[in-house]
Amino acid sequence: MNRFSLNHATTKYWDQDEAIDACARENVGIGLWREPVAAKGLENTARRVRDSGVTVTSLCRGGFLTTGAPQALDDNRRAIDEAAALGAGELVVVCGGLPEGSRDIDAARRAVADALGALAPYAVESGVRLAVEPLHPMFASDRCVISTLDQALDVAESFTPEAVGVVVDTYHVWWDPNVYAAIARAAGRIASFQVADWITPLPAGVLTGRGQLGDGCVEFRRLRDAVDAAGYSGHIEVEIFNDTIWSHPGPDVFAETLRRYREHVA
Amino acid sequence: MNRFSLNHATTKYWDQDEAIDACARENVGIGLWREPVAAKGLENTARRVRDSGVTVTSLCRGGFLTTGAPQALDDNRRAIDEAAALGAGELVVVCGGLPEGSRDIDAARRAVADALGALAPYAVESGVRLAVEPLHPMFASDRCVISTLDQALDVAESFTPEAVGVVVDTYHVWWDPNVYAAIARAAGRIASFQVADWITPLPAGVLTGRGQLGDGCVEFRRLRDAVDAAGYSGHIEVEIFNDTIWSHPGPDVFAETLRRYREHVA
């Protein structure tokens, strides 16, 4: 179980300090989010992390780079600083959807590549890798114009593996007929491996309709084996956005998630 | 406008006879659905089509081939017969999702290829082409394990172009970073070109959340130019599943759809 990491979004309403301490007690990692970190204070959180001895497996999230706005670059530099302060080696980057009113998806993709080029040197100096996450194609218009792992790799491969890696999230990539070839291609670039299940029918609020491990149709062990075979030996983050799961107490969700992980992924 | 075709699902609650006559008057095509055809009677519908002189650009739909059940093959043979009786050269095939309880998407894809192999000779004898439609990846679990145009072509290319073609539906493929290369590759295989817009945010009922032409972010002219450049010169079917559009009178939706098509596609 020492590769397990709880992405804090899985227990969104659980006090961050309690979640950090619980993960430390179980000797598992934690993935943190910028907003709760800011609410607790960056220095306070960094101290809590150091004192507890927990590993911060990623900071979520930077990105939203498709508009070309200088403010977006500034915000991403701050996110890199925050990741560095927390000792998180990976900043998850969700690239952004089409700018308001635009239909030009190629232009949006070029803007992402340009912005990564502007950010990469600063990330390397800071000891933080930009972890580009392809999101399911149903988010292409509003959240991420990078929809497949191959496409994320096409972007990442313009940079050194220390500067730009990719996230493999089962929820986003399970359907892709090329996913196993893409995972093999991603050797040396896998910055984060995240797991959530795909449940059918798709819940009404698609953003928060991810399934607890085992409740859906994702082939976790097959995907995990492929990621392992590509040389990834880091943490496996469970990241589930789900309104029902969020309505339960954090400690209960944590215990259930550990149990499900043991059964379906470990 | 002579390449326009109204897919009857766009005006789902409009009496089929009235829709046929309206399309004939406008000298445009129509795409029919098996259930309303059966409700009116196959022979009655075939006569109405002949008498009106309208072109039936496709019959929707065959498919649901992932279980390997013999009943599915029988049902698809009946669908081929119906298409032939209506003079529709193309039977749209929606391949089906994961069988109940299965997580083995590769097995489901193999079942599709096997079933197409079983159906193709009968389709050719009947003068009907099986038009394999890749569906947006958000339907991979419950409707279609063929998610990209390249994947549909991988399947189709085991057969002659007269037996198995592909459908290019803008709603399903617009997000794909490889879509323009895939359309070029599809030269000689494009059996149907369907258009609907992608609107943001994604409506709650994703199945019926397609947008009227121009309401979303699809680059219609660019996709149409690519399809034309691949040698496709057939009808362009407007197929929009949308609860709000369905709540309006058929003739009004038809008029508005013609107007939108002229503005955004023609």
Query: For residue A228, is pLDDT > 90?
Result: yes
Residue spans of alpha helices (H) in chain B: 16-26, 34-40, 42-52, 70-86, 105-126, 149-156, 170-173, 179-185, 220-229, 243-246, 250-264
- pLDDT tens-place string over residues B58-104: 999 999 999 999 999 999 999 999 999 999 999 999 999 999 999 99
pTM exceeding 0.95: yes
> CA-CA distances (angstroms) from residue B260 to B5, B224, B257, B266?
13, 15, 5, 9
Among B100, B103, B139, B210, most A C-beta atoms within 10 A, so best to mutate, is B103
CA distance A107 to chain B (A): 12
Q: Do residue B175 and residue A147 have CB atoms under 8 angstroms apart? A: yes
The count of other CB atoms within 10 Å of the CB of residue B43 is 9
- pLDDT tens-place string over residues B182-193: 999 999 999 999
B132, B155 contact by CB (below 8 A): yes
ipTM of model:
0.96
The full set of domains in chain A, from first to last, is 4-264 (3.20.20.150)
Q: Do residue B219 and residue A140 have CB atoms under 8 angstroms apart? A: no
Q: Does B89 touch chain A (CB under 8 A)?
A: no
CA distance A72 to chain B (A): 22
The amino acid at B171: Y
Among B137, B205, B216, beta carbon nearest to A137: B137
> CA-CA distances (angstroms) from residue B168 to B33, B53, B177, B236, B238?
18, 26, 15, 10, 12
Residue A206 banded pLDDT, cuts 50, 70, 90? confident
Q: What is the pLDDT of residue A152?
A: 98
The count of other CB atoms within 10 Å of the CB of residue A206 is 18
Mean pLDDT in residue range A153-161: 98
- pLDDT tens-place string over residues B30-68: 999 999 999 999 999 999 999 999 999 999 999 999 999
**Three-state secondary-structure class, residue A181:** helix
Question: What does pLDDT average to over chain B?
Answer: 97
Query: For residue A205, is pLDDT > 90?
Result: no
Contacts of A228 (CB under 8 A, 6+ apart): none
HSE of A246 in the Cβ direction (CA atoms, 13 Å)? Answer: 14
Q: What is the pLDDT of residue A213?
A: 98
Q: Which residues of A touch B154 (CB under 8 A)?
A: 177
Q: How far apart are CA A183 and CA A244, in angstroms?
A: 31
User: Which of A87, A92, A95, A164 minimizes the C-alpha distance to A124?
Assistant: A164
Q: How far apart are CA B97 and CA B67, in angstroms?
A: 9
Q: Do residue A175 and residue B97 have CB atoms under 8 angstroms apart? A: no
Q: Show which of residues 41-60 on chain A sit within 8 Å of chain B, judged by CB atoms.
A: none
Mean pLDDT in residue range A1-5: 93
Q: Does B172 touch chain A (CB under 8 A)?
A: no
Query: For residue B204, is pLDDT > 90?
Result: no
B116, B146 contact by CB (below 8 A): no
Q: Show which of residues 101-130 on chain A sit within 8 Å of chain B, judged by CB atoms.
A: 102-105, 109
Residue A204 banded pLDDT, cuts 50, 70, 90? confident
Total CB pairs under 8 A between chain A and B: 82
Contacts of B69 (CB under 8 A, 6+ apart): none
